[in-house]
Structure formats: structure tokens, C-alpha cells
A and B are shown apart, each in its own frame.
Chain A
Amino acid sequence: MTRFLQQRLALAIPTILLTSVVVFLMLHLIPGDPASIYVGENQATPERLEAIREQMGLNRPLYVQYADYVWSAVRGDLGRSLQNDQPVTKIIRERLPNTFKLAAAAMVIAVILGVALGLLAALKHNTWLDTLSMSVALLGVSMPIFWLALLLILFFSVRLQWLPATSQPGLKGLILPAVSLAMLSAATLARLVRSSVLEVLRQDYLTTARAKGLPGRTVILRHAVRNALIPVITVIGLQFGSLLSGAVITETIFARPGLGKLVVDSIQNKDFPTVQGAILILATIYIVMNLLVVLSYALIDPRIRLG
């Protein structure tokens, strides 16, 4: 296990570093001079540009600037926002909990809904319940998050006036964003659970279990579902990434002050240090999550480690 862990870490760390190269280069790939991006195009006098270059170290070689960027990032300094001159790290730290809450709530909804629909479809294979569950799943994967969110607001906020349309602290404000974010993952999970359970139901050991006279319920719960859910666990972990990126859209619609909305707002305001910082953090969280998924999978199923 230790060796497996080392191998995985050895893969993840260069990936994070390369990600930071991409994020660092963003500013330099934008057509035009990075200094004038910092100053803003209107007040760019040659003297001011030179002063900014000096101050930000933009006239040093690129690799020196990169090393500096990474070294500062490791110490928790991601530069200052061009919008309000606050440290980017501080802005991100304020917003991160909101995104986590949203993603976690969506995850819970997606798992409950997805596993329930998938199990129902598989155990009632080829009945109207199967068709219905899979139709809901098809709808879920075909429906853009942003449209679903608007429809939910139309129905639950405008018409019924049960739930707030914009973010409010507390559980009530979390329901609509979490449900709209969860739908896609729930639908994906439902399809996966269904095919996974159907696959297991065909296995010989289930016939054996039935043949030796175990009651149907025991066969399904103890033998079929338990084995069918192993691949599902991995996908649940991987779905967390899609929830993080879905948060970009959901947070914007529901005006939730999270990391996703921060990225969108900062791109629109050309606040590049904030864009870089937020994206670097989101990508790092995602890489670490994937690492944890693979490790947990290896714990559950020893064959993974050997393979």
C-alpha cells in the first residue's frame, strides 16, 4: 500500500506543478503586455507601465517569475486582486466554504436519488418503473443545469414562493442550488447503478446463492447490491469534480458568493490574479480528490493495487 501511495503521489505532484505552469502562463499568453493588464488600458502611461513592471517583477526572465509565483503560492500568497486590492488568498478563503457546502449538499442529493433510481430500474428491469427511472435519467443528462435552475426558480420561488431565488444563509437558500447542481450527477449515477446491478445479477454466484435457497431479499441486498456498488463508489468520488465545475454555473444563477462565481466575475472584470488563484485552487482540490478516490478504491479492492 505504501508503494502504491508513493506512486500515486509521484504522479499527482507533477500534475499540480504543470497545472500551475498553465495558470501562470495565462497572464503571459493574453495578447498585450501583462503590465498594461494590471494598470488597465486607459491609464497606461509609459512611466506607470515601467513602474508596474518593476514593482511586479515583470521584467525578470519568465522562469524566475514562475519560480517566484510558485514559491509565493506555496506560502499562501497568490497576489492581490486588481478589483479591490485584497489578497487573493483571503478572498478565496472567504468563498471556499460556500462552494464546499453547495457541492456537499448536491453530492448527498445526487447519491440518494441516483442510487435509488438506478436500483429501482435494475431490480424492476424491463417494467414501466425501469422505463420511468431511465427517462428521468435521460432528462437529467440532457437538461442544461442553468435551465433546470431557472425552471426551479420559476416554480418554487416565483409561483409557489416556497424557496428563495437567491442565496441566503441557512438551509433554505441551499435547497434549489443544490438540487439543480445534483441532477446531472444523479442521472449519471442512476444509469451507472442500473447497468452495474444488471451486470452483477447475471453472475454465476448469484445463481448459486439462489440455488442454495437463500431468500430473494438476502440475495439482492447482500450479494448483488454490495458488489454492484463498488464501481459506483469511484464514480461518486469523481463526480465531485463535475460538481465543483457545475458550481460555476449554479453559483452565478443563484448569486451565491462561492469560488465558481468568483471565477466568472473575475474573468469579466479582467481581474487576472484572482482568476489564476481561484482556478489553481479548484484544480488542486480536484487533483487531490481524485487521488483520494483512487486510494480509497485500492483500500476497498486489493486487486487495484496489484494491477
Chain B
Amino acid sequence: MAEALTREAAHAAALEQLKGRAARSLWRDAFSRLRRNRGAVAGAVIFLLIVVMAITAPVIAPHDPIKLNARNSLREPGREFWLGTDQFGRDILSRIIYGARISLMMGFVSVAISVTAGSLIGLLAGYYRGPIDMIAGRLVDVMLAFPGILLALVIIAVLGPNLRSAMIAIGISAMPIFIRVVRGSVLSLRNSEYVEAARVIGGRDARIILRHVLPNVLAPIIVLASLGVPAAIISGAALSFLGLGVQPPTADWGEMLSNGRSFLNRAWWLSTFPGLAIMVLVISINLLGDGLRDALDPRMRL
């Protein structure tokens, strides 16, 4: 009797344990792996600090980022202006604080464009195959035929140089990789048994794609997006640096560097600090992204 009871209890305990494990989804597992990754946590903290800095810019910036003040022209870093001033007497620190807004926006809006459009095309091409797939394939080939930043330059030549065009240009030129990866994942999923089952019970295509296929390609999309954001931030700054993105007097890190170029032999601080800001932001997101990648897919190592 006692033995039977113990066995039953053990059985119940084992069941409980199994349930507990089943309740831990991919996402919770990933999150706990992420939290144990020191680099990722450090990246996340720095990144959040920059986000807070961008949001609270009007409160924490010591000076106006745009107002000209010839009296303070080209001051060295010191007590009043921690990171110095530019030729128009604008405080570099304040411009860096405000510039975080543009860089974050550039990174996230561009990637949102490439994720949305790229995933949609990839989903449709992988799920339906046929002519849609062929057109998507050619589209990817042509877009990849323009090395690096050149496709963005083509788009900007058409739309005219400003922040909006820069984000659209970077978003579109980063699309092919999303199309390819999502299409590939969908191809391997579309013949899987559960998708087949959903089709057999009469699920409509839209429902199958959204409820059954999309959740399973989400992990690679997130990983790619986390790689895309820092790349988009650098490309955005590069476009502004070339004078083809954000236009003066808006405070933008790339534009600040471009301005500092003319004062290299007189004011080193103009071209040092904005670049440092770009790099810190990019490294923080890279660390976080590396962590996300390891957490979401331990097998996938780049």
C-alpha cells in the first residue's frame, strides 16, 4: 500500500516536472540564457542608457543643440563645455545627446522597413513558390548586385538627400538578406507535418502563414534584425557624413563628424567624440545581438 502510494507520488511529481518543463517556452529559455551572458547584459545596460539619454535629451542636455553662439566658437573641452564646442559655438555634448535620437531612429526605422517588407516577400515566396518566388529571387539578385551602400545611394539620388530618404534607402537595401533567410526557413517548414495538418483541416493560407509559419521563422528574423540595427546606424551616419542624409543644422553624429573634418588641425574634439558615440552604441547593440543569437539558437554561430 505504502509502496503504491510512493510510486503514485513519484509519478505525480515526475508529471509535474514535465509540465513545468513544457511550460518553459523557447522565449523563456532564451531569456534566461540571455541573462546569464555577461556581454549581452552589459550591452543591454549601455544600450538602455543611450535610449534613456535620447528620450530625456531636452531635460539633460546642458545647452541648446542648434542655437548659434559665435562667442563660444571652438572652445576646448572644459568645465563649461565638457566636450567642447564647434565653430558655431554649439555644445558638442548636447549635440551628441540629441544626436542619439537620430541614430536610434535611423537604426530602428530602417530595420523595421527591411524586416516588414523583407519578411512579407520571403513568406509569400517561400509559401507559394511559383512565379512569386521567381520574381522575389530576381529582385534579391538585382539588389545584391549593388555592393554595400551603393543601392542606398541610388535610392537617395531618386528621393533627394534627407533623413526620411536615408531611412527608406537603408531599409530597402537591407531587405534582400531578410527575403533570403525567411524564404529559406519557410521552404523547410511548408512541407512539415503540422503545416500539412493545418491545411488538411481546412485552414486558409493567410491563417496558416500567420499562425503556424511566421512564429517559427521569428527567431532568425530577430537575430538578423539585431545584426541589422548597428549596420543601419553606421550606414545612416555614413550617409549624413557624405552629406546625403540628415542635413544641417540637425544634431546628428555623422553630420557632426563631417563638420569636424574641416577643423581636424584646430579642434580634435569635433571629430573624436561623435565617432566614439557611434561606436559605443554600435558595440552595445552588437553585444546584445550576439547574446540574442546564442540565446535563441545555440547551434547557430556566426
Contact = CB atoms under 8 A, between A and B. Distances in A.
Given A15-B142, A19-B145, A248-B242, A263 B150 contact: yes
A241 B145 CA distance: 9
Nearest to A271: B157
Interface in B268-285: 268, 271-272, 274-275, 278-279, 282-283
B148 A242 contact: yes
Given A16-B145, A18-B142, A142 B150 contact: no
Dominant SS at the A interface?
helix
A15 B141 CA distance: 7
A145 B147 contact: no
A100 interface: no
A110 interface: no
Nearest to B152: A245
Interface of A: 11, 14-16, 18-19, 22-23, 26, 29-30, 138-139, 141-147, 150-151, 153-154, 157-158, 165, 195, 241-242, 244-246, 248-249, 252-253, 263-264, 267-268, 272, 275, 279, 282-283, 286-287
A282 B257 CA distance: 27
A58 to B, nearest CB: 17
B279 A267 contact: no
B156 interface: yes
A287 B145 contact: yes
Interface string B238-265: 1001111000000000100110110011
A279 B150 contact: yes
A142 B282 contact: yes
Interface in B156-170: 156-158, 161
B142 A195 contact: no
Given A138-B283, A272-B157, A18 B141 contact: yes
B151 to A, nearest CB: 9
A287 B270 CA distance: 39
A196 to B, nearest CB: 12
